[in-house]
Amino acid sequence: MSNLFEHNGAKGQGYSQPAPVLPESSISLPASLTRKALPRWPRLSEPEMVRHYTWLSKRNFGIDTGFYPLGSCTMKHNPRVNEVIAQIPGIADIHPHQPEHHIQGLLAIFHEMQYMLEVCSGMDQVTLQPVAGAQGEFTAVRCVQEYFRQRGETQRTKVIVPDSAHGTNPASAAMCGFEIVEIPSRTDGRIDLDALRAVADETTAVMMITNPNTLGLFEPDIVEASAIIHGVGGQMYYDGANFNAILGITSPGLMGFDAVHFNLHKTFSQPHGGGGPGSGPIGVRSHLAEFLPGPLVKKRPPIGNESQMVIDDMWYGWYQPTHSIGKVQQWHGNAGAIIRCWAYYRRYGSGLRTMSEHAVLNANYLRHAIHKATKAAGVDSMVRDGAEAKVTKHEFTLSLAPAKEMYGISAMDVAKGLLDMGYMAPTVYFPLVVPECMMIEPTETESKETLDEFATHFAEVLQIDAETLHAAPTTTPVRRVDEVYAARNLCLRHPYDDE
Amino acid sequence: MVDQLPNLGREAEMLSAMGMSSIEELFADIPAEVRMTGALPLPPPQSEEEILADARRLLGSNVALGERVSFLGAGLYRNYVPASVFQLVNRGEFLTAYTPYQPEVSQGMLQAMWEFQTLISELVGLPVANLSLYDGSTAAAEALTCCVRVHNRKATQKDTVYVSELTPPDRLSVMYNYCQGADITIKLLRHHSDGTLDLDAVSEAVGSCGVYVEQPNPLGILDGGLSQLKAILGKTTALIVAVQPVSLGLVEAPGHYGADIVVGEGQPLGSPITGGGPIYGIFACSKDYLRLMPGRIVGRSIDVDGKVAYCLTLSTREQHIRRHRATSNICTNETLIALMGAMHMALLGPEGLHALAVRNMTACILAKQKLSQVENINLPHSNSHHFNEFVIELPGSSKDCLAHLDAVGIVGGFDLSAWYPERTNWILATFTDQNNANQIELLVSHLALWASSQGVNA
């Protein structure tokens, strides 16, 4: 059966439960509180449930299935030991309200993660609380907002973002109540310093920018951009979505940023699980540190009988920043994701730079291989670089605008053609500044052979006629899905027979 | 390190294919003035075995609740997640997928999430549910901003919402952070001394954009008065109810007594506590809120052959399309944990959910019966119904009591002075399906012993 709700066997349970400690008759809820009809959930035995979800899993594509060059999303391999570690009861069975002496080991890992992120980013203090990149952005902008309020600089109502920014940047700043000022990128995709100078003034609170930018290019003028913003008294915010390109090579601190978020799940490793979970810690320079959401983890020598409970000779405890904005998630962040990322970083340790080098090596190699393959196949006129650049960083963009013009083949058509070749499609139509954009990020965990094969297949897709490509994919569990139909005929839950 | 990088040692070959001779050339665009000098001050790389050993040493030093007898809840609850859930969620096709932007190769997760929407919708009694928010607090906060978007035009108390004064400060803090940017004022709703909502005070909220209450409330009380709220508030003020999802196996679903939005911590269904994350926040609503709600939604559609197919829908609310006009900045959510929730719900079935709720509530009733007979301690809300936790008033400080219990291997509950500073002798004790009669007896006898040593009547 293909639909969970078609399973409606005998009254029973997919797993057996112990008897209650008292008979059900001991419960005497008044009618106003009593549920009249149970939810119309399906009824499955365990074998039926296992088969249903196994069947569903076979209709889904993950990194484990094949190459997943989804630009901006950093779909790298997830080491399996991380999953084993996340199931250790000392994390899985821990409650955030347990006292400090119950969780010294967890706090030690948190502290190590704060420190690791601080030295990699050049920031003075990190909080692990935000649970996603977008929430990290929101949190950091909130901290800056409180910082300016405390200084009486309430005229700072603007947040500047480049037009190539991730959508979360303007959305996060708008949630804080800021007015968004978008500045155009230059034709080569980089910041236009003149455009920045034209809008930066005493009403500027923050500039949000990612570097490398969403075209995968390093912004060489970043120091100048920081100087412009600092010159008008504003703050520089680093969107860490692309931090995996520069670890150990440069840092947001060196580039002049005041605050940064990390997408731990991208830079390190937490399986994305079909859209989450993630983890979005932020780091700030010292002038913003006391505004961070609390608590943070601090360490000190043990006092009194604490010495009997320490690991590594230090006592780890919670610390509440003095002007904290409060909380952005009720607990201590996505602790399980932080543990996995700790396990991942330990694999590289002081050698994290190698990880970034290979991410960049693979991206440049694939870009080169695609151009070589399309040239060899005689289809190089259909595709061009999204932005001119000798080298890119961890990802690059291609424009299928020529293919669209010549044959009516869109970036989406090519994406669907790649699905038929057994790949996940790259990110399409982002960033918006590149027409018919395809954004490709291979990550460091793909072999040269995989990259070569993908380049060959990419060129093969471009040789397919337009009509066939419009009809692609044909080998997938379903063919092209009608998204307009979905929006016009909203069906957001199982339609029961009486509905 | 080596085991994660397939091209280690092949750099020269790959570089030469590009006409380059060193890795350094790939970074030639990074100006010298921003270059890091020297190595990162971090420990040397470790092997998988070393990492696992270190993880076991550090995490093994923590006190896992399962090693003790635990009565700690207060928003997150120990549960039993069936083995098949862990086995299935670790299938790489689910585990290592991204957001289903390409529906043709993401039908498995899309369908599972559409089924999740249905399971949640049925659970809470509302027609629409999203794919999860980060946790219960962010779901509550997003519900407040959502109801202002929907109702502000007709509201007589513009940009104003009312929230139960009992709401834990950490949750309230998240609400303040999410609301302050939209200039939303949060006002507090009074409660009676017996812990139930003061319905007369609720009339103050008429004409505002929304009212937020919890069922059971933060004191563990099932408040029958909440079923009258919608009649008091009327159509133009949203009723937002936060739930403990397992309670809905016994307790009326808020959608059936007029709630417009239901939120909650999904964790008890499908997820271990995991130090408070990743867990998942439930968000469900009536159709009036659909187009202004936060988060991702899956719709059932068809493919070009007319075959049933699923895809993300109503995306024009979201940040990647609407940018600064989006209904929320959320991008990453908690899909994988929601999937665990769906699997757990599918295994439970309606009768299994009911049985699970009965196990919680009977454990709570048994504890209440036993503790009410203990001298020197008081149950201030003993006349109310409780789902799986209630307040114990002690003859001395909660801090001392919990430390005493800790020393004998019992995690005795939650010190309520963390939420209500004047309540220095209140603990919130939680009794779930994971507590058997012997454990309850153990708590009762140790509490009795401690209370008798305090010598003063509560």
Give the residue-averaged pLDDT of B305-314.
Answer: 96
CATH 3.40.640.10 fits domain B84-344? yes
Cβ within 8 Å, pair A391-B29? yes
Domain segments of chain A as ranges: 1-25+41-59, 82-351, 353-484
Cβ within 8 Å, pair B30-A62? no
Contact residues, chain A, for B349 at CB < 8 Å: 11-14, 41-44
**Residue A12: its pLDDT value, please?**
64
Task: Quickly state the pLDDT bin for B323 (edges 50, 70, 90).
Answer: confident
Predicted complex ipTM: 0.97
Residue in the structure block whose two tokens are 């920081």: A226
Q: How far apart are CA A325 and CA B288, in angstroms?
A: 33
**φ, ψ of residue A132 in degrees (nearest 5):** -160, 160
What are B228's two structure tokens?
């009258």
The number of residues making up chain B comes to 458
Choose among B135, B130, B106, B133: nearest CA to B117.
B130
Q: Is B44 left (phi over 0), alpha (psi -120 to 50) or beta?
A: beta
Q: In CATH terms, are B66-77+349-454 and B84-344 the same topology?
A: no
Q: CA distances (Å), A329 to each of A99, A161, B27, B139, in order?
A: 19, 26, 38, 10
Judge whether B142 and B283 are in contact, CB under 8 Å: yes
Question: What is Dmax (Cα atoms) for chain B?
Answer: 85
Closest alpha carbon within chain A to B277: A334
A182: closest CA of chain B, how far (Å) = 10
Cβ within 8 Å, pair A347-B46? yes
Q: Please tell me what DSSP assigns to residue B401.
A: H
The CA radius of gyration of chain B, in Å to the nearest whole number, is 26
Question: For all residues of chain A together, what is the average pLDDT?
Answer: 95
CATH 3.90.1150.10 fits domain A353-484? yes
Give the three-class secondary structure for B202.
helix
Which tens digit of pLDDT belongs to each residue from A436-495?
Answer: 999 999 999 999 999 999 999 999 999 999 999 999 999 999 999 999 999 999 999 999
B399 burial class (0-12, 13-18, 19+ CB within 10 angstroms)?
middle
Lowest mean pLDDT among A201-205, A353-357, B302-306, B454-458: B454-458
Q: CA distances (Å), A272 to each of A63, A207, B6, B86, B279, in order?
A: 10, 28, 21, 16, 14
Closest Cβ–Cβ partner in A57, A68, A251 for B94: A57
Residue in the structure block whose two tokens are 């951009």: A225
Which tens digit of pLDDT belongs to each residue from A364-421?
Answer: 999 999 999 999 999 999 999 999 899 999 999 999 999 999 999 999 999 999 999 9
**Residue B316: its pLDDT value, please?**
83
Give the residue-averaged pLDDT of B344-350.
Answer: 96
Identify the CATH number of the domain defined by range B66-77+349-454. Answer: 3.90.1150.10
Residue A144 C-alpha from the chain's centroid? 22
Identify the CATH number of the domain defined by range A82-351. Answer: 3.40.640.10
Q: How far apart are CA A228 and CA A222, in angstroms?
A: 10
B182 burial class (0-12, 13-18, 19+ CB within 10 angstroms)?
middle
Type of residue found at A56: L
Cβ within 8 Å, pair A77-B181? no
Closest alpha carbon within chain B to A443: B5
A96: closest CA of chain B, how far (Å) = 5
Give the three-class secondary structure for B296.
coil
Choose among B195, B216, B183, B207: nearest CA to B74.
B216
What are B305's two structure tokens?
């052959």
Cβ within 8 Å, pair A364-B248? no
Which tens digit of pLDDT belongs to each residue from B109-147?
Answer: 999 999 999 999 999 999 999 999 999 999 999 999 999
pLDDT exceeds cutoff 90 at B411: yes
Q: How far apart are CA B175 and CA B133, in angstroms?
A: 14
Domain segments of chain B as ranges: 66-77+349-454, 84-344
Q: pLDDT averaged over consecutive 10-residue blocks of chain A (499 residues)?
A: 81 83 97 96 94 97 96 94 97 98 98 98 98 97 98 97 91 95 88 96 97 94 97 98 97 98 94 95 98 97 92 95 98 97 97 97 98 98 95 97 98 98 96 94 98 98 97 97 96 89
Cβ within 8 Å, pair A83-B90? yes
Burial A212-229 (b: 16+ CB within 10 A, else e): bbbbbbbbebbeebbebb
**Residue A1: its pLDDT value, please?**
53
What are B192's two structure tokens?
């009676």
Q: How far apart are CA A453 and CA A263, in angstroms?
A: 29
Cβ within 8 Å, pair A167-B320? yes
